[in-house]
Structures are given as structure tokens and as C-alpha cells.
Amino acid sequence: MAMIIDGKPCDIRPGQTVLDVARAHGVYIPTLCYHAKIGALGRCRVCVVEVEGMTGLPTACTLEAKDGMIVRNRSPAVTRARRLMVDLLLSAGRHDCLSCEKNGTCELQQAAYKLGIERPSFESASPLPVDDSAEFIARDDNKCIHCGRCIAGCHTRVVNEILGAGFRARHTRVVCDGDVPMGASSCVQCGECVQLCPTGALTDKRARGAGRSWELQKAETLCPYCGVGCRLVLHLDPTRNAIVRVTGADEGPANDGMLCLKGRYGFDFVGRSERLTTPLIRENGSFRKTSWDEAVRFIASRLRDVRHRYGPDALGGFASAKCSNEENFLFMKFLRAVLGTNNVDHCARLCHASTVAALSQAFGSGAMTNDIAGIRHADVILIIGSNTTEAHPVIGYVIKQAVRLGKTKLIVFDPTRIPLADMAEIYAAQRCGTDVALLNSMMHVIIRENLYDKAYVAERCEGFDELKAEVATYPPERAATITGIDADVIRRAARLFASAPTAAVFFAMGITQHTTGVDNVWSLANLQMLCGNIGKVGGGLNPLRGQNNVQGACDMGALPNVLSGYQSVSDPAVRAKFEKAWGCLLPDKPGLTVTTMIEAAAAGKLRSLYIMGENPMLSEPDLHHTEHALRQLDFLVVQDIFLTETAALAHVVLPAAALPEKEGTYTNTERRVQHAPQALEPPGEALPDWKIIQRVARAMGADWNYRSPKEILDEIASLTPSYGGIGYERLGTKGLPWPCPTKDHPGTPVLHVGQFTRGKGLMKAIPFREPAELPDVDYPLVLTTGRLLEQYHTGTMTRKTDGLNRLAGPRVMISVEDAEALGIVNDETVRVVTRRGHIETKAFVTRRISQGTLFIPFHFVEAAANTLTIAALDPIAKIPEFKVCAARVEKV
């Protein structure tokens, strides 16, 4: 099929509009309301064209391209109409191009220039006030052309549903939450509207005056925060080696151009003056600056000394879910091949260790089974123990899109009424730590009512009879007394879930951070096998990984029992392969975990720790105990970008490069390996982590000569079957989801299609167990912990952006009922007490949390939630029970 535009033959693909065809053939048609991400709105009429045989001037963005069509794009009638439209839009506002932030990238300016409009012909409207009230977004209605892109983006992409069209006729304006200043509205500052705005009406407030578009360089990289793995574009001022603004990368496979406010605005940490710039050695109780040579020599001699006196297992290392795959691979190689111990672990122990333990036994692989793009194919989504819109915001957008499109129904179970609960068909708050009883009861109903997928269970699973016998003892009435959820709600949820042709489950730390973490995850695996949802596009069991490379750090073998690709250290054939490649002998006994290394340090058995980019002084449970353990060590090395609470206790501190300052690959929550090139220079003498590890390894006698991360990834591919086909040359902007065993393999978006990795899926009978510490007379409330949208993990990075701090500070969420009973009002300072200690913080009295439950975010050192949490561990995964302990609240 072909058509003619201005005499030029252009071929057509089915479903293309005239605008699509013109753009595909390099023909300029001005547009203002059209944007590829939101499609045709047909409002601005700037893209009108003349079509032979048609009356009037149709809009190219809405007109379907047809075989034989003859289009005139530059006829006098078209030019006259376009000029009038653009002239009217210019005249209706105040477009002070000289000082506008959008100068050079404004689409109205471009259209006016192309149409030869020098100044507006009509009388300008009276000026409107500028809304500067929001933290990150400036709104100037004088430059708004009412194209509707921002409203469409807010409703159909991020589905925050804040912006709308207000008032009538020539008074029409974009309004926030009815009509309040943006800063007073419920806008979450994701910035999608800014990214879509064609003019200077919506701009990044902090980028004002910081650089014109033609002065800035663009560099594509990855977000350093959560596990979604959003691709983004840094707009850099090369004269200052500084980031001016961030936009979402249109081609991002996980984020499709969208970002949350951390990814878009939380980049101040990179340029902060507190960055570590030289190595530091502790001397007489304080740090002195030193050279790399002295620091590395000192570390090597102290590590050798500890190994000589106490043996290799007196040494240990925490790898980092923030560092690249290459860096984690080298770190675990350093611990195993150079120091001779398997005592290597990282913060996955504190988030998804239970997932890895349960799913590797149930399915044969511990990772998220499905991809983000498949979410829209789900008929039902169960969200349990995941505040998705706060902790994994862009996946939250995709789930909301699926619901708003009308195909997908949501079931949400969470002790707090998370924002997604407002869109759910069924929402209920279970008591913290009762998930097994709830899930067993759902399966009870599904089996009893014959709603399960019998053929799938018979062909693909084992252990059904044991599971059936166990769940038979959980009728909804019994589960109701355990969970606090009405028996009929459990029945309705079970029926809705089981009747869906395709149902997906999403979960996070609300499921995993329990002494029953493995049981909880395996119960979800049981449910998904029972309903035949594993190995299906849009279905699956989807653990949302917390950090940008926590999946990769696990894949790279930064775990005490496996080498890269989950190859067991206890398997002689595996060890022989690595020993041959590395030219050394490897330890064969699984090592200690993060949590048991802290215990061993407290007991004087672990004498030295090397910590790369982790901050256990805020992330571990029972912080007083953690501090005691770290202070017991003979030698502590910390490699990080800031002098964190943990680094402050170290004997040597090494300055590392941040993500945009080094090259590497990172594996997101959907197992997609993505490449991030270097965009900036590290500050001072800071180095990429892989270079630091190599220097220390060489000082300890290793013959390592890696010249680039690419060489390390090639070694990873040669030793790791699931990464066998992954190399820098293949990653591009889309990356590859593992398993990708060969160089011509396309990657695997959905796991366990046809059969489970282990052969048959293993169902398991799981009895309900109570959490380790229950409320009592002295501590009558249940404390649970988690994240806020605006902050991240231990705050090392987000707390360096002042705007994020102004949006979210420390707090304890308490129910209206509990607050009234205790005589506590909103914003009052209260003391929260557990058996481990106490903190003082502001009360946030809310109806979003159930009576009897408290929620404290763990980001804030001044009100450190983990001072309060219990160090009780899941017996298999050794993950702490961050999500349940007994507490009380006192007035101060």
C-alpha cells in the first residue's frame, strides 16, 4: 500500500495515520496536541492537511492512511489554516520566548517558526498567576495552549487522575484536584505532565536558569533507585559535570518513558559536596585522608592478618544491590577466590531471601516469572504485601492502566489501605503475619468449589494431595478469626481469582519479611499452580524486587550458597568449572548470611567485614545490637559514595563512583539485563567499584587485569548459563531478560512455559504459624515497617534532595481509633516503644491503617524504625521479621 504526500510516494503499514506515514518518511507536519505516548487528541488542528477527493481540512493525526490517497501538506489553504491556529494560540497566551525554559524545545515556537509567524496578530489576554506552589513542577497558565496532553498523561499513563479541564469557553484552564494550587493538591509530582507538555506551561522548577537546551548534553542511563529499572535521560551541563534535569527515556522497556518523582527529581545526591572524594583511614578515633596506594596496602595487610590468625571464615563481605552485575560478580569472586570464604551476601537477605528460597524449590527458579509488559493481559491481579504505587511506582502505573482499560480486576490484601485499594474490586486488611491462613483459606474455597485447574495440576504439578489435606482445615470462618477478614470476603476473593482466565500475583516485602517468609511465598506459589497461572503471559508470580540491581546481585552469586547463576557452591562439578577458570581452589561449605554475619561478629567469630555500598546501620533489625556487632570487628572496610552511618564506624572508607559515573549492567525485577554507559566523571579520586575491588584483589596477590566492565561481563557469560548469550554488543536500549543461554537467544520474558524449571511444580502443605512476637498487655500494638514514595531505603541518596525531604519526613502512621484512645492528635510528637528500644517521631493519624497497627518508614536515621524491629529470622531464608513486632505508643 502507498500514498502520495506533496508528490512524494510513501508506503503505508496497516493502521497508520497520515501523520504516522508523513513522520516515517521525513515529512514535517506540525503538531501540538499529538504525542506518540498518548496518541491523537485531535484538539489543536495544527496538523490539518488537504486530501484529494475530501472536503474540508482533516487532521493528519486522526486520518487513517489509505492506499492511493493524495495528500497536500503545503497547499495555501493548509498553510493559512495552520497559521491561523498557531497565531490564535500564541495570541491567547504570553510567550516570552527569550526567558522561557522551553526555548529551543518548545513545539509552539517550532510551529510558529516553520510557519513564519514573527509575532501574534491578536490582542493578548490578561496575565494569569503563575503556580509555583509545588515542590518540583512550575505551572504557568500563560503558556498553556490547552492541548490536553498533560491531562491525558495524568489519566491514561500514570493514572494519577489529578489534572483536569476546568471552567468554560475562553476561561478554560487546566486545574489540579478541582482547582487548588498544585502544591496543595494530591499530585505526587511524577512529572509526566512536564514531559508531555509541548510549551513552557509545565516545567521542572529546579532546572530554571540552569542551562538552555542547546547548552546541555543528553546521556541515557538507568534509574538508581527501585527494581523497576526505568531508563532515563540525563540532561547534563558538561561545563559543571552536573545533571540539570532528568526525563524518561521513550524507549525504556520497563517504563515506556514514565518515571516517578525519585527517578526524575532525586538526583541531587550525585553532585553533593558530602560525596566521598578520597580514601579515609581511621587514626586515633577520627578519619584522615590518604592515598589509594596506602589505603589498599593497609586493607590487604589487615585482611591477610585476620585470615592468618583466624582462618578465611573469620572474613566476610556484603555486596551491593546498588552496584552493577560486573561489580557484584567481582566482589563475590574476591571473597571466594582471593579471601577463600563463602561469607558473602547482600541486602536481598533483608527483602527477597524468602522468595528465592521458596520459589527455587517450588519452581526451580527464584525470580519474577513474568514481565512488566504482560501486565495488561491479566484478567485479575492479586496484590498482597506490596504498596506498589509507593515502592514500585512505574509498575503501579502499569497496573492502574490495566484496571482503567476495563479488562483487569484488582484484589488487594494489605494491613494498610494502600492507594491501589481504592481501585480494587475487593480490598481487605489482614492482620500482619496471617497471610498463610488467608491463602490457605482461599485455596480451601477454590478446591472445595472445584474452581481449580485440574488438568494443569495433574500434568504440571506434584504434591496436590498433601496441599488439599492441609487447606481443608482452613474454612473461611476459621481464617476469619485468624486474619480479621470477613469469611465472605475470602470466599468472594477466591472465586474472583480462580474464575479469571489469567490471574497474576504481585507481592513484595509485606509477604517476605516474616519469620514465615518462605511459607508465605510458597503459599502464593501453591495458589498460582492451583489456578494454572504459571507459564502464562499476563499471569505468574511476581516478587517486586526492591533495589535497582538486587536481582543482578543475586544472579551474580553475591549469596553464601551459590556462585553466579545460582550454581551451588556444594556441587563439585560447579566448583571445578569455576576453579579451572579462576585458577584457584574454592570453599565448598555455604557461608554466612548478612544476618548471621552480624550475629557472628557480635559473638567474636567473624573478625572482619568488607561492605560495598550497603548501610546495615539503618537497614538491619535491632540496630543497637547491629552497632554492637560492627564495633566488635577487628577490621571494617566500607566502600560507598557517602560517609554513611555504617561507614562512620569503619577503619577504612573507600570513595566509590555513583551509577551515572561508571559503566555497567543492571538486572531489573523482570530479569531484564540493561546497559548503563558512563555519563559523568566521578568526584575527586572516587573510582568505580569494580576498579576498587580489582586494586584490593591485586594487592592480595590476585592476577586480575580487567580493563573494562565488558571484559567482566564476558567472563560472567562464560561461567553462567542463564547469562551465556548476554554481552554488551546485544543489549542496546532494550536489554535482554534472562535466561538467555546463547548469543542468538532472544531472552525469556515468561518463565516456566510448558514446564517448570525443576520439571514439575512442587505444591507443599503449609500450616499457619504465628509471628515471633505478638501484642500483649505491655505492647498492645503491632508495628510494621516499609517505604514511602518520596524516600528510598536508608535515605543515603534521596535524603540529599531537599525537595524530597520537604515532601516526606519521619512519622508513625496510627489509626484514628488508636490515636483517639491514646489522646494523640495528628502531627503530635509521640514515643514508640518496643522491647528493643524507642524512638520519638510525629504521629500521622489516618484512616488508611487498621486499628491495632502502626507503620513506620525505615528511611530516617533520626527516627530509625529498625531500632524497634525484632531480629527473629525465618528459619530457612534467615530474613528478619521486619513486618511484625509488638509495640506501644506513648505521649511525650
Report, in Å, the least distance between residue 388 CB and ligand SF4.
10
Side chain identity at 448, as an amino acid letter? R
Other Cβ atoms closer than 10 A to 872: 17
Nearer to ligand SF4, 230 or 854 (CB): 230
Nearer to ligand SF4, 200 or 552 (CB): 552
Among 81, 162, 226, 382, binds ligand SF4 (CB under 6 A): 226
Nearer to ligand SF4, 393 or 535 (CB): 393
Please identify, among the stretches 13-21, 197-205, 253-261, 775-783, the one whose residues bind ligand SF4 according to the rule CB under 6 A: 253-261
Please identify, among the stretches 152-160, 252-260, 602-610, 844-852, the one whose residues bind ligand SF4 according to the rule CB under 6 A: 252-260
- By DSSP bridging, strand 652-655 and strand 280-283 are antiparallel
| Residue 260 sits in the site that holds ligand SF4 (CB under 6 A) | yes
Among 58, 198, 257, 263, binds ligand SF4 (CB under 6 A): 263
The whole-angstrom separation of Cα 541 and Cα 883 is 21
- CA 486 to mean position of chain CA atoms: 33
Pick the closest to residue 673 from 363, 353, 324 (CA basis). 324
| Residue 146 sits in the site that holds ligand SF4 (CB under 6 A) | no
Please identify, among the stretches 259-267, 274-282, 283-291, 467-475, the one whose residues bind ligand SF4 according to the rule CB under 6 A: 259-267
Give me the phi and psi of 838, to 5 degrees please: -145, 155
Nearer to ligand SF4, 522 or 666 (CB): 666
Give me the phi and psi of 609, to 5 degrees please: -130, 140
Other Cβ atoms closer than 10 A to 377: 17
| Residue 259 sits in the site that holds ligand SF4 (CB under 6 A) | yes
Report, in Å, the least distance between residue 374 CB and ligand SF4.
18
What residues numbered 149-168 form the site for ligand SF4, per CB under 6 A? none
Please identify, among the stretches 221-229, 710-718, 858-866, 875-883, the one whose residues bind ligand SF4 according to the rule CB under 6 A: 221-229
Please identify, among the stretches 224-232, 559-567, 691-699, 873-881, the one whose residues bind ligand SF4 according to the rule CB under 6 A: 224-232
- CA 429 to mean position of chain CA atoms: 24
Please identify, among the stretches 125-133, 218-226, 235-243, 478-486, the one whose residues bind ligand SF4 according to the rule CB under 6 A: 218-226
| Residue 19 sits in the site that holds ligand SF4 (CB under 6 A) | no
What residues numbered 584-623 form the site for ligand SF4, per CB under 6 A? none
CB within 8 Å of 439: residues ≥ 6 apart:
520, 523, 524, 526, 527
The whole-angstrom separation of Cα 728 and Cα 710 is 6
Grid coordinates 512505574 are at which residue? 394
Report, in Å, the least distance between residue 397 CB and ligand SF4.
8
Helix, strand, or coil (residue 533): coil
Report, in Å, the least distance between residue 262 CB and ligand SF4.
4
Side chain identity at 402, as an amino acid letter? A
The whole-angstrom separation of Cα 271 and Cα 266 is 11
Grid coordinates 513484595 are at which residue? 508
Beta strands in 561-658 (DSSP E): 562-563, 567-568, 608-612, 635-640, 652-655
Residue 747, CA atoms < 13 Å, CB-side half-sphere: 19
Please identify, among the stretches 27-35, 254-262, 707-715, 725-733, the one whose residues bind ligand SF4 according to the rule CB under 6 A: 254-262
R_g of the chain, CA atoms, integer Å: 29
Beta strands in 544-688 (DSSP E): 562-563, 567-568, 608-612, 635-640, 652-655, 664-667, 672-676
Report, in Å, the least distance between residue 229 CB and ligand SF4.
6
Report, in Å, the least distance between residue 519 CB and ligand SF4.
28
| Spatial contact of 442 and 413, defined as CB atoms under 8 Å apart | no
| Spatial contact of 676 and 231, defined as CB atoms under 8 Å apart | no
Side chain identity at 174, as an amino acid letter? V
Q: How many residues bind ligand SF4 (CB under 6 A)?
A: 14
Read off the DSSP letter of residue 649.
Answer: G
Among 228, 378, 438, 716, binds ligand SF4 (CB under 6 A): 228
Report, in Å, the least distance between residue 394 CB and ligand SF4.
4
Please identify, among the stretches 52-60, 222-230, 461-469, 858-866, the one whose residues bind ligand SF4 according to the rule CB under 6 A: 222-230
Among 262, 333, 468, 671, binds ligand SF4 (CB under 6 A): 262
| Residue 676 sits in the site that holds ligand SF4 (CB under 6 A) | no
Pick the closest to residue 892 from 820, 818, 828, 815 (CA basis). 828
Report, in Å, the least distance between residue 613 CB and ligand SF4.
17
Length of the chain: 892
What residues numbered 336-395 form the site for ligand SF4, per CB under 6 A? 392-394
| Residue 795 sits in the site that holds ligand SF4 (CB under 6 A) | no
Report, in Å, the least distance between residue 677 CB and ligand SF4.
17
| Residue 295 sits in the site that holds ligand SF4 (CB under 6 A) | no
Nearer to ligand SF4, 254 or 716 (CB): 254
| Spatial contact of 536 and 750, defined as CB atoms under 8 Å apart | yes
Among 187, 223, 489, 658, binds ligand SF4 (CB under 6 A): 223
Q: Which residue is nearest to ligand SF4 (CB)?
A: 263
Q: How far is CA 374 from CA 585, 670, 875, in A?
A: 44, 11, 34
Cell numbers for 703: 592476577
| Residue 33 sits in the site that holds ligand SF4 (CB under 6 A) | no
| Residue 230 sits in the site that holds ligand SF4 (CB under 6 A) | yes
| Residue 255 sits in the site that holds ligand SF4 (CB under 6 A) | yes
DSSP letters, 760-809, are SEE---------SS---SSS-EEEEEE--TT--TTSTTGGGSHHHHHH--
* Cis preceding linkage at 739, omega within 30: yes
Nearer to ligand SF4, 252 or 535 (CB): 252
Site string for ligand SF4, 391-430 (x = CB under 6 A): -xxx------------------------------------
Please identify, among the stretches 255-263, 473-481, 692-700, 800-808, the one whose residues bind ligand SF4 according to the rule CB under 6 A: 255-263
Helix, strand, or coil (residue 685): coil
| Residue 225 sits in the site that holds ligand SF4 (CB under 6 A) | yes
Q: Can you list the pairs that 571-579 forms with residues at least 24 positions away whose Cβ atoms lie under 8 Å?
A: 577/719, 578/337, 578/719
- Site residues (vs ligand SF4, CB under 6 A): 223, 225-226, 228-230, 255, 259-260, 262-263, 392-394
